[in-house]
């Protein structure tokens, strides 16, 4: 064997050991960062509205990656009220599969125009803050996710959650971090006394 | 709808808007691998880069790689006639051996000549080309003075993909190719075979004798990929191209008699294996192992005249440590061995030489500043140790404008011909060395993308024939000052790319100090545009180049020229496309290469090509 090849293998092994050592040291920190920033990928920017917290029956479950299928949905819409029937399959624990049939009534008391203004504003804000994590680019990690958040009556963003995970924590976290940066200039876009809820599908794609 | 339903479920008591859902926000990025030796967003790169994808290749009127590259900002080329004749590609005014060429991560070049046979790499086997302008030796080692070209071979789409292609054109040029690609579970594969031949035209202009110098090429690419899980994936590609090219004015090795009945059998091959690994933490990386071959056997009136077989073995192990989103450290090791097999060198010539190198790169981003630093040490069996380094800064003025400033040193190892060729080679030569500085500004607006880069490269220890001893010596110096302005824009649905390149290279040593470097044009202008009209796609391009000198004392030159090409694609249905091209519409007679020994090399007059593509 040539001495050059021997040197290459020696240097490779050394660098590999150094990299692995650093990796194990830093993995912990990265996880800790996740825990601080977002337990089960929901970030609380402000204190959630008291009344909401009580009614979030599913909120306390770790919702990320759990919802695997939704069946039998029916929608009946009137001008002011929408009834939604959904069967939700929750797979939070591989051994326990829960199926739930839920009927929901949604009041829609806002003018569509005003909502469009809000949507466009949020879209512009999100485009400003969206980023593709560099390590995900390098690893060719791609995926689709759904992030939800609520806009409080004071215009603050809270309750950021991943409803459907991309399969990669780094991408989920990037979506959460981007949403967290949204700032509404004032509450003129919000009409409710109660928080406004939004959900947003996000695709991370590499060309 | 699903999202809304989930949402309404989770927050059932809260009133929400009835259409609270946007169309999916897509965060998609254009990726470049070659600039920093890892995948990064083109926007994050601090280098001047161009990406040519398969669509661009099919849209282009170029029929070979040197012509395709000649339409890209910063490039210039000369050839000894069209259709697979010896070609030299110059990037940013540097020598033809001053550009590193990789195919699927493996260096492809002739260790004896020191340059890459672009004219023998069939476009049919190319999926994508990444071009990085400016020095990259502190990441890649030898040759990366003017820049780096990385070619990715055809892989097809991952879902089942069959593509066949048949074409015919002027000078009895025929092309046929077939690609099959698919995937099964975690595995994907592709196979692409291509054959092309042409009667050609006379390579060198003669007053009396005329002979057509033809070209024949058969090539195949096979790829296999397997994704074990999200952390480990493996990719293997194999590309082989071989054929025969006829040329003019070769000298018999023993009798020293000229002839125009010259031909050469060539073979180009790359075999590349990549194992990529990623952890859930900060570490990921890749191991690339492969070989490449450049073989060339030359015949004088069908008698073997001389032959070179060169082989390259590459192994790279790269580790990336992403400490935070904005701090990345890359640690890499490269091993390379070049082997030359020829009867031309003296009996005691070493058959091979190896090179081991280690590099470290630190890429960081702060609020208003990006910094990329890299350092590399090469240890070469022949010339010993050599260090290179680079530093680049990027500053985003606002969301659309970005300023860059960079410095880089680079080198080129002496070729086997420089070291061992009889009556010329000197085995104690040092590498050619360069230093470059560059400033750039790029704008990324919604309808216009543009960039302006200005650079100066000083090259020292250039190897040339010593006027006293007629042997190779590190005697020459050169300085190149230049720039490129590139813009991509759309006007009334005409998708347009325009570039202006300027490369003023001067000799800085010897009797020809202050004279322009030979064979390259200082000024180049490129314009390409295309537009869809229903089932039709029209595209056109213009290439205009200024004067170039053909001898060292600048006493003779070739005037500038302009060529217009146009093409029309017609989609018969979604699977079948018929296309027709007319190149050099004006039938301009122009010259891009001549010398005192061979005279003037021919270029193609008006020529047409018709192609039928079937794609599912």
- Any A CB within 8 A of B282 CB: yes
Average of pLDDT values for A178-185?
83
**What own/partner pairs with CB < 8 Å and gap ≥ 24 does B570-576 have?**
B570/B535, B570/B536, B571/B535, B571/B536, B571/B537, B572/B535, B575/B614, B575/B615, B575/B616, B576/B612, B576/B613, B576/B614, B576/B615
Question: What average pLDDT does chain B have?
Answer: 92
Dist. CA B386–CA B430, nearest whole Å: 10
pLDDT tens digit string along B262-321?
Answer: 999 999 999 999 999 988 788 999 999 999 999 999 999 999 999 999 999 999 999 999
CA count, 13 A, side-chain hemisphere, B75: 23
pLDDT tens digit string along B407-450?
Answer: 999 999 999 999 999 999 999 999 999 999 999 999 998 889 99
Give residue B364's pLDDT: 94
Contacts of A25 (CB under 8 A, 6+ apart): none
Of the pLDDT bands very low, low, confident and very high (cuts 50, 70, 90), residue A58 is very low
Mutate to test the interface with B, among A16, A73, A106 (most CBs of B within 10 A): A106
Interface TM-score (ipTM) > 0.90: no
Model-wide pTM > 0.90: no
pLDDT tens digit string along B200-234?
Answer: 999 998 766 788 999 999 999 999 999 998 889 99
Burial environment of residue A187 by CB neighbours within 10 A (0 to 12, 13 to 18, 19 or more) = middle
Of the pLDDT bands very low, low, confident and very high (cuts 50, 70, 90), residue B11 is very low
∠ at Cα B467 (B466, B471), nearest 5°? 35
Query: B20–A199: do the CB atoms touch at under 8 Å?
Result: yes
Find, in chain A, the residue whose alpha carbon is nearest to that of B354.
A4
Burial environment of residue A129 by CB neighbours within 10 A (0 to 12, 13 to 18, 19 or more) = middle
Give residue B12's pLDDT: 31
Query: B10–A2: do the CB atoms touch at under 8 Å?
Result: no
Find, in chain B, the residue whose alpha carbon is nearest to that of A146.
B3
Give residue B438's pLDDT: 97
Give residue A149's pLDDT: 87
Determine the length of chain B.
616
Between the alpha carbon of residue B146 and those of residues A38, B88, B410, the distances in Å are: 47, 13, 9
Average of pLDDT values for B341-354?
93
**What own/partner pairs with CB < 8 Å and gap ≥ 24 does B424-431 have?**
B424/B465, B424/B470, B424/B471, B424/B472, B425/B345, B425/B471, B425/B472, B426/B471, B426/B472, B426/B473, B427/B382, B429/B383, B429/B463, B429/B472, B429/B473, B429/B474, B430/B383, B430/B461, B430/B474, B431/B142, B431/B380, B431/B383, B431/B386, B431/B461
Query: B28–A86: do the CB atoms touch at under 8 Å?
Result: no
Smallest Cα distance from B406 to chain A, Å: 22
Question: What average pLDDT does chain A have?
Answer: 63
Query: Which of A4, A20, A26 has the CB atom closest to B356's CB atom?
Result: A4
Interface of A with B in 5-34 (CB under 8 A): 5, 7-8, 11-12, 15-16, 18-20, 22-24, 26-27, 30
Nearest residue to B312 via CA among B333, B331, B277, B337: B337
A-B interface: how many C-beta pairs under 8 angstroms? 231
Q: Is the pLDDT of residue B570 over 50?
A: yes
Query: B1–A73: do the CB atoms touch at under 8 Å?
Result: yes
- Any A CB within 8 A of B385 CB: no
- Per the model's pLDDT, the better-predicted residue between B183 and A83 turns out to be B183
Smallest Cα distance from B608 to chain A, Å: 33
Please give the structure tokens belonging to residue B425.
């080679």
Contacts of B214 (CB under 8 A, 6+ apart): B83, B197, B198, B199, B200, B245, B246
CA B57 to chain centre: 13
The proportion of chain B whose per-residue pLDDT surpasses 70, expressed as a percent, equals 95
The β-bridge partners of B252 are none
Tell me which DSSP letter residue B282 carries. S
Mutate to test the interface with B, among A2, A3, A4 (most CBs of B within 10 A): A4
Give residue B129's pLDDT: 97
- Any A CB within 8 A of B20 CB: yes
Smallest Cα distance from A164 to chain B, Å: 9
pLDDT tens digit string along B45-67?
Answer: 999 999 999 999 998 989 999 99
Interface of B with A in 113-172 (CB under 8 A): none
Query: Which of B12, B23, B44 has the CB atom closest to A102's CB atom?
Result: B12
């Amino acid at each position: 064997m040539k001495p050059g090849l021997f040197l290459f293998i020696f240097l490779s092994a050394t660098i590999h050991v150094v990299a692995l050592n650093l990796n194990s040291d830093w993995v912990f920190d990265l996880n800790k960062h996740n825990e601080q920033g977002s337990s089960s990928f929901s970030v609380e920017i402000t204190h959630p509205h008291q009344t909401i917290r009580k009614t979030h029956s599913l909120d306390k479950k770790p919702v990320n990656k759990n919802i695997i299928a939704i069946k039998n949905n029916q929608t009946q819409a009137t001008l002011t009220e929408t009834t939604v029937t959904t069967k939700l399959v929750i797979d939070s624990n591989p051994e326990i599969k829960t199926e739930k049939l839920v009927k929901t009534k949604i009041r829609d008391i806002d003018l569509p125009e005003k909502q469009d203004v809000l949507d466009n504003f949020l879209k512009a804000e999100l485009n400003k803050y969206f980023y593709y994590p560099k390590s995900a680019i390098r690893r060719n990690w791609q995926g689709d996710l759904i992030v939800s958040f609520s806009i409080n009556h004071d215009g603050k963003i809270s309750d950021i959650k991943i409803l459907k995970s991309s399969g990669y924590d780094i991408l989920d976290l990037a979506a959460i971090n981007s949403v967290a940066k949204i700032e509404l200039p004032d509450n003129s876009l919000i009409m409710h006394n109660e928080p406004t809820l939004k959900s947003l599908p996000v695709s991370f794609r590499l060309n | 709808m699903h999202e809304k339903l989930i949402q309404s479920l989770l927050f059932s008591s809260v009133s929400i808007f009835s259409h609270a859902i946007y169309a999916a926000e897509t965060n998609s990025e254009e990726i470049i691998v070659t600039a920093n030796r890892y995948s990064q967003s083109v926007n994050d790169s601090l280098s001047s880069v161009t990406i040519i994808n398969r669509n661009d290749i099919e849209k282009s009127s170029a029929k070979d790689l040197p012509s395709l590259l000649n339409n890209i900002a910063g490039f210039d080329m000369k050839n000894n006639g069209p259709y697979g004749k010896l070609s030299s590609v110059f990037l940013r005014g540097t020598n033809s051996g001053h550009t590193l060429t990789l195919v699927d991560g493996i260096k492809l070049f002739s260790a004896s000549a020191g340059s890459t046979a672009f004219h023998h790499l069939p476009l049919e086997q190319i999926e994508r080309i990444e071009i990085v302008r400016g020095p990259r030796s502190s990441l890649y080692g030898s040759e990366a003075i003017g820049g780096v070209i990385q070619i990715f071979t055809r892989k097809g789409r991952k879902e089942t993909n069959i593509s066949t292609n048949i074409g015919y054109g002027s000078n009895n040029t025929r092309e046929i190719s077939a690609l099959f690609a698919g995937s099964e579970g975690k595995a994907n594969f592709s196979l692409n075979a291509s054959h092309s031949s042409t009667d050609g035209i006379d390579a060198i202009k003669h007053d009396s004798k005329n002979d057509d110098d033809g070209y024949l090429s058969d090539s195949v690419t096979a790829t296999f990929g397997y994704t074990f899980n999200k952390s480990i994936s493996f990719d293997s590609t194999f590309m082989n191209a071989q054929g025969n090219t006829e040329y003019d004015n070769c000298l018999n090795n023993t009798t020293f008699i000229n002839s125009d009945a010259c031909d050469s059998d060539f073979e180009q091959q790359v075999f590349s294996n990549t194992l990529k690994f990623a952890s859930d933490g900060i570490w990921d990386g890749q191991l690339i192992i492969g070989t490449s071959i450049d073989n060339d056997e030359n015949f004088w009136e069908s008698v073997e005249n001389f032959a070179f077989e060169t082989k390259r073995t590459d192994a790279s192990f790269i580790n990336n440590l992403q400490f935070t989103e904005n701090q990345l450290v890359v640690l890499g090791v490269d091993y390379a061995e070049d082997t030359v097999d020829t009867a031309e060198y003296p009996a005691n010539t070493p058959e091979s030489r190896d090179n081991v190198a280690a590099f470290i790169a630190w890429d960081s981003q702060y609020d208003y500043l990006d910094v990329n630093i890299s350092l590399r040490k090469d240890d070469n069996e022949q010339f010993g140790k050599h260090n290179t380094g680079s530093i680049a800064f990027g500053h985003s003025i606002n969301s659309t404008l970005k300023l860059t400033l960079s410095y880089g040193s680079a080198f080129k190892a002496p070729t086997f011909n420089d070291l061992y060729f009889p009556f010329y080679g000197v085995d104690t030569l040092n590498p050619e060395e360069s230093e470059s500085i560059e400033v750039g500004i790029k704008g990324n607006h919604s309808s216009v993308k543009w960039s302006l880069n200005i650079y100066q490269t000083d090259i020292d220890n250039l190897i040339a024939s010593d006027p006293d001893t007629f042997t190779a010596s590190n005697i020459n110096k050169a300085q190149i000052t230049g720039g490129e302005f590139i813009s991509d824009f759309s006007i009334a649905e005409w998708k347009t790319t325009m570039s202006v390149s300027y490369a003023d290279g001067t000799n800085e040593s010897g009797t020809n100090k202050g004279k322009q470097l030979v064979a390259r044009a200082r000024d180049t202008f490129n314009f390409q545009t295309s537009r869809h009209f229903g089932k039709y796609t029209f595209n056109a391009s213009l290439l205009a180049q200024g004067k170039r000198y053909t001898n060292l004392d600048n006493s003779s030159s070739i005037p500038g020229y302009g060529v217009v090409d146009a093409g029309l694609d017609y989609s018969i249905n979604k699977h079948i496309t018929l296309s027709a091209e007319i190149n050099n519409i004006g039938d301009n007679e122009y010259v891009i290469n001549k010398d005192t020994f061979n005279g003037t090399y021919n270029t193609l007059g008006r020529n047409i090509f018709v192609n039928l593509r079937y794609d599912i």
